[in-house]
Structure formats: C-alpha cells, structure tokens
Structure 1
Amino acid sequence: MKKSYMADLILLGVTFSWGATFVLVKEAIQTMPPFTFLAVRFLFAALLLFLFMFFFARDTLRGLDRRIWIGGVILGFWLFAGYAFQTFGLQFTTSSKAGFITGLSVVFVPFLSLWMLGHTLKRNALLGAGIATVGLAMLSLTSELSVNIGDLLVFLCALSYALHITLVGKYAPRFQAFPLALLQIFFCGVFNLGGALVFEDVSVVFAPDVLFDPWVFSALLICSVFATAVAFVAQNQFQKFTSPARTALIFATEPVFAAATGYFWAGDRLTILQVSGCLLILGGMLFAELGGQDDKPDPELLPT
C-alpha cells in the first residue's frame, strides 16, 4: 500500500478517536468547566507522552531545539484558539450550526496551503471539499439560518483549525513526531490553563466529586491517552505523507463518527437528511482519494 493511502487511513483513525469521544466530552463538561477540562486533558497527555519518551524513546528528547519549541508554541496556540473560539461561540449559537461552521475548515485549508506552503489547488481535492461541505450542511444545519456573534466566533474556530492543519503540514516533515506532538500538546494545555484561570474556577479540579465523577474521569483518561497523546503523534508522523487539504477532508468526517457514536451510545437519532449528509461527507473524502496523491507543493513556493 502506498504511504499516502496508509497515512490517510491512520488519520481517519485519528478522526474516529475525536468523533467517538464527543459524547464523553459533552457529558464531562457539564461537571467540569470546558477550559479546565481541556487544560487537564492536554497537560496530562503531555505528561504521559513525556514519560513514554523518557523511558522508551529518550533519544527523541535530544531533538528539542529552539526551532521545534517555536513550532510547538505556534501549533499549540492555533489548536487552543480553535477550542477557545468554539467554546465561546457555542454560548451564542446552536451546536448544529457550530458543527457545520467548524467543518468549513475543509474549504479553508487548500487555499491556506496554496498561500503558506505553495501547494497547488487540485480539482479532485476542491470538488471533494465542496461535496463534503454540502454534506456538513445537511448533517448539521437546521431551519435556523440567521447569523449572530456566536457564528462569527465559530468561524474563527474553523480558521484556527485550518491554520493548525496547514502548519502541521509545514512542521511535520521537519521534526520528529514525538517531540513536536509533545510541545504542541503541552502548550495547548498551558494556554487552556490560562483561559481557565481567567474565566473559570479551576479549584473544581481538586474536588473529588468532580475529578472522580465517572463521566469526567473516563473522558479525561480516554481523551488524554487516545484522542490526544496517540492522536497527535499519529498526525505529526503521518501527515507528512499526505497533504493538508486531504487531511482537512479526512477530519471533516469527525461529525459523522460523532453522530454514529451518539446513535449507538446515547440513543441519538438522525433524520434521512442527516444520514444523507453523512454519506456525502464520506463520498467527498473518497472522491478526493480517487484523485491520487497529486497535490504536491511547488518547490519554488515552499517556505524556508
């Protein structure tokens, strides 16, 4: 199997881990405030990843030079920004609209890749993104189509996620996956801790009835290990074999996995329109895949 297709399959598995934990996270943040939850999730994941590297891959720690620290800060910031804008935006808009607008990152990434990385705009990737966007609308949008401040904040969330995906495409080929993942996870946790200190009561972390609440404890453990430490190492390792545009399209399947998980675990039901939307998202991804790995960067436009 070609490395590009293997990479896409791994990234699809990463997306599944994010979508499958949506129900857990949704329940957990009813007890632990969102920024506090994210701070604990990412900092605990960073600790686990550091311990793994220290005991089993100590040589990777020698790669922590100034350049990778800068990359880790930048990636961690845009990852945090995506979560932050989404968290505040959900206070003013519906979750269905937020899901659709967040998914628009699949449209932004090809153009950001053209601008920042010198990647060409390929027909299959653009048409696949268009098909997936229609699917996202069918899956997420309701009859409420008015625009408010929450929609703008979630739009900034989508742009932040798109920048994160694009910049991973810049840094992943330059650095080892483990230290790059460690630093972006750590700094995302630090930025979320700052948000928690400003907007929330972080003392709830030390309340046994909160930290050891079954939903909170399960969500923190599963999300820290699989949906954070393992997921971001995998993204940093395998995105270098595919393009940011294809990665964004694969990540657009997250609401499909979230909907499927909600159906089996929480008893959520989808309408025929929403099921059709899920199929279109998957169809858009497959359409882009059939185009082959042809969206390579123009060497003259690559950043130095």
Structure 2
Amino acid sequence: MIALNVGAVLFGSNQVVIKSVEHDLSPNSLSALRFLIAAVCFSPLAVKGLQKAKLRTAALELGFWLFGGYTAQALGLEYTTAAKGAFTGTFTVIAVPLLVGFSGRKVPATTWAAAVVALAGVGLLTTGGSGFTWGDALCIGSAVLFGVHKFRTETVTAQFKDDTQQLVAVQLLVLAVISSIVCLPELVDVVHGRSPGEVLELASELPWLALAFMGLGTTALTLWIEMSALKQISAPLAALIYTSEPLWGALFAWVVLDERWGSTGWVGAFLIVASSLAAQLSGQDVKAEDLSLSNKDS
C-alpha cells in the first residue's frame, strides 16, 4: 500500500513536470526522450519478449493505445493548466466501465450515474477559471485512450500471465520506437547545418533531470511498482489508492506553478474524484458477479 501511494504521488507530479519543460521541448521530442529512457530500463526483458510472436503482436497494439494517450496528454498540457490536466485524467476510471458495458457485460447503474456526474464535474472544472480549452479536450481524449488501453490489457494479460513484465517491456520499446520515428523530422531540422559540436551543445542544454525523472520515475518505476504491488494488493484497493493522483497533481500545480481555481472549479474537481470512486467500486461489483457466474457454470 505504501508503494502504491508513492506511485500515485509520482503520477500526480507528471503534469507539473511536463509543463515545466514544454518551453524547451516539443511534445514529440519530450515523448521520444522520455520513452527511450524508460525502454532502456526494461531492455533485457524486451529482448526476451520480442522472441515471442503472439506477445509481440499484443504489445504492439497496447503500445499504440499508450502512444496515443501520452501524445494527447503532452499536446493538451500545452493549452491547459497542469491541475486541470490532472483532474480530467480521471476520465480513465470512467472510460473503463463504459467500455465494459459497450462490450456486452453488465455494468451497475451506479457506474452510469458516476459517468454523468464526472461529465458535470469536468464541465464545472473547465469553466471555473480559464474556460474550456482545446487542451482540456485533448486531456480528456488522452484519458479515454488510456481507458481503452486498460480495457484491452485486461484481456491480453490473461493470455500472458507469466510474461507480464516482458509485455510491459515490449510496450515501452514500441513507445520508444514510434515516438522516435514521429520525432525524426524535428531531429533532422535541428542537426541540419550544425556541426557535431553545436549539436552536442544543444543536447547538453536539454532538461535532462526532468526527462530522467519522467522516464525513470513516472514511467519505468511506476509500472514496476504497480506490477509488484498487485501481487499482494487487490486491484480495487489499488484503484482507490490511485484516485489520489489528481489531488497530488493539483497540490504540485498549486505549489510549483502557482495555479489557482475559482470555487466552481473546486466543486467540479470534487465531483470528478467522487464519481471516480463510485465507478471503481461498481467495477468491483462487476468483477464479483462475473466470477460468481463463472464458478456456477463450472
């Protein structure tokens, strides 16, 4: 439980760190460097995972969903505040049960009610201060993409119960490769017409401390924490702990970036967190019902 709380703090700090370096790096460059650093940490496991054809295919799909989510997040934070980005990110918790319902599985009425409350909360949050922005829409889209990733992961991980870490490692490698390809035109523009010495000087001026923190701390380490802790802690309890992520995000934004909201924004933030908790609790009920039916059938 302590480890998961550390993970929630790290996740909550991510928006603030992105905001702090966005004036030095484009979203594409930021993603490429972040994921390259993370992929290096898992490279030995990635080598093993790449030797398994089915695992490669599954990791490629999941990696694309993650790439879309992270890219939308980085782009969105260029046009909205870190605190609003943290709270709209809780839409992932709403997106997952909605996808479960659309797939044909039963979802409690409380989950649908929570989705409506969350939408109302986001409306209040994004109009309580700077107004609704393109960045807010991108952050919500990012949360939905992360929700799709979690939804698909539920199915995929059941096929690779003993290879979870390798699956994560190959996903990180996919992220690093795709983001590097997308960033390649920018890299060509930077290198063109400059001597190797000038290129090295520009590289030395990059915010490497922040990039290392995101690659090692908010990507590689948090994934490792989650995988290790879930061997002892139930998924519903872990999800409840991670609900504190936007609270940490808002706190960091308040202290580091001096971001402030009006009273309407705080009401919206409260509704989002409350709806997230309700959605997670109803998600626990869905899992319990599915297990009960499975045992009855067997």
Report the residue type matching 2:125 in the other structure: L
- Local SS of the residue matching 1:269: coil
Q: Is the 8 A contact 1:42 1:185 kept in 2?
A: yes
Task: Work out which of the residue numbers 103, 107, 121 in structure 1 matches 2:107.
Answer: 121
Q: Please give the alpha-carbon distance, in whole angstroms, between the structure 2 residues aligned to 1:119 and 1:202.
A: 50
Deviation at residue 67 of structure 1 after TM alignment: 1.7
Q: What residue in structure 1 maps to residue 214 of structure 2?
A: 223
Q: What residue in structure 2 maps to residue 57 of structure 1?
A: none
Deviation at residue 11 of structure 1 after TM alignment: 5.9
For this pair of structures, how many residues does the alignment match?
280
Deviation at residue 164 of structure 1 after TM alignment: 1.1
Please give the residue correspondences for 1:76-115 in structure 2 after superposition, counting only pairs within 5 Å: 76-88=63-75, 94-95=80-81, 103-115=90-102
Q: Is the 8 A contact 1:168 1:236 kept in 2?
A: no
- Local SS of the residue matching 1:120: coil
Structure 2 CA distance for partners of 1:99 and 1:198, relative to 1, 3 Å: farther
Q: Is the 8 A contact 2:50 2:170 kept in 1?
A: no
Cα deviation, 1:106-154, whole Å, max 9, x if unaligned, reads: 43321212345x5431234333444344333333334776787x77766
Report the residue type matching 1:231 in the other structure: T
Cα deviation, 1:60-118, whole Å, max 9, x if unaligned, reads: 94795222211211111111112334455667x655887776554443321212345x5
Structure 2 spans left out of the alignment, 5+ residues: 192-197
- Local SS of the residue matching 1:295: helix
Q: Please give the alpha-carbon distance, in whole angstroms, between the structure 2 residues aligned to 1:283 and 1:228.
A: 26
Please give the residue correspondences for 1:1-304 in structure 2 after superposition, counting only pairs within 5 Å: 13-50=6-43, 61=48, 65-88=52-75, 94-95=80-81, 103-116=90-103, 119-142=105-128, 156-175=141-160, 176-198=163-185, 203=190, 207-213=200-206, 216-235=207-226, 238=230, 241-242=234-235, 247=239, 254-288=245-279, 293-296=284-287, 298=290
Q: Please give the alpha-carbon distance, in whole angstroms, between the structure 2 residues aligned to 1:131 and 1:11.
A: 26
Structure 2 CA distance for partners of 1:29 and 1:136, relative to 1, 3 Å: same
- Local SS of the residue matching 2:214: helix
Q: Please give the alpha-carbon distance, in whole angstroms, between the structure 2 residues aligned to 1:265 and 1:82.
A: 25
Q: Please give the alpha-carbon distance, in whole angstroms, between the structure 2 residues aligned to 1:285 and 1:159.
A: 14
TM-score by length of 2: 0.73
Q: Please give the alpha-carbon distance, in whole angstroms, between the structure 1 residues aligned to 2:167 and 2:132.
A: 40
Q: Please give the alpha-carbon distance, in whole angstroms, between the structure 1 residues aligned to 2:107 and 2:13.
A: 31
Cα RMSD (Å) of the superposition?
4.0
Deviation at residue 194 of structure 1 after TM alignment: 1.5
Q: Please give the alpha-carbon distance, in whole angstroms, between the structure 1 residues aligned to 2:106 and 2:204.
A: 47
Structure 2 CA distance for partners of 1:119 and 1:235, relative to 1, 3 Å: farther
Q: Please give the alpha-carbon distance, in whole angstroms, between the structure 1 residues aligned to 2:158 and 2:109.
A: 25
TM-score by length of 1: 0.72
Report the residue type matching 1:273 in the other structure: T
Q: Please give the alpha-carbon distance, in whole angstroms, between the structure 2 residues aligned to 1:125 and 1:11.
A: 24
Report the residue type matching 1:170 in the other structure: T
| Identity across the alignment (%) | 24
Report the residue type matching 2:158 in the other structure: P
Q: Is the 8 A contact 1:112 1:163 kept in 2?
A: yes
Cα deviation, 1:230-260, whole Å, max 9, x if unaligned, reads: 22234456399537xx95x876654432211
- Local SS of the residue matching 1:21: helix
Q: What residue in structure 1 maps to residue 194 of structure 2?
A: none
Report the residue type matching 1:162 in the other structure: G
Q: Is the 8 A contact 1:32 1:210 kept in 2?
A: no
Deviation at residue 42 of structure 1 after TM alignment: 0.8
Deviation at residue 13 of structure 1 after TM alignment: 4.8
Which of these two proteins has the greater Rg computed from alpha carbons? 2
Report the residue type matching 2:152 in the other structure: L
